[in-house]
Amino acid sequence: MTDPGAAPAPLRVLLVDPDDRVRESLAGLLRIGDRCLIVGSAGTADAAVQLARGSTPDVIVVDPRLPGADAGASLIARLREACPATRILVLEWSDATEPQASGADAYTRKTFRPHELIDAVVSTSGRSVA
C-alpha cells in the first residue's frame, strides 16, 4: 500500500553517450534534487539495449551519434523494441534533429543549463515528480 503523502518515486533514467565523461557529468546533474535515479550508463548501442531491457527505465537520455552503424534512428528503434513504454530524450548539438524523424519523444541541445536538463527529463517522462 502506498502512502498518499509520500513523495513520488524518482524517475529511473538510463544514460547513453559515447563519452564516459559526458555520462558521468549527466549522471551528476540528474542526481541534483533527487528527482532522478540513474539505473544505467552505456557507451555503445548493444550495451544500451541490454541495459534498457534489464533496468526498465522511465526515460532514456541518448546521444544518437554513437560509433558504428547501429546509431541514430536505428538505435532508437532498438531501444523502443527493448522497452516499449520507455520515453526517449535525444541530446543533440544541433537544432536540426526533429524528435518525430528520429523516433524520439523529445530532444534537447547539449548546451543546456543543469535545470534545463532535469526539466527536459521530467517533461519527457510525462510523470509528476517532486
| Separation between Cα atoms, residue 70 and residue 3, nearest integer Å | 43
11-125 carries CATH number 3.40.50.2300: yes
Higher pLDDT, 4 or 103: 103
- What pLDDT, on the 0 to 100 scale, is given for residue 73? 82
The domain locations on the chain are 11-125
Report the candidate in 67, 61, 59 with the shortest Cα–Cα distance to residue 91.
61
Q: Write down the pTM of the prediction.
A: 0.88
As a whole-number percent, the residues of the chain with pLDDT over 90 amount to 58
Report pLDDT digits (tens) over 29-39: 999 989 999 99
Q: Which three cell numbers stand for residue 97?
A: 534533429
Report pLDDT digits (tens) over 58-68: 999 998 888 77
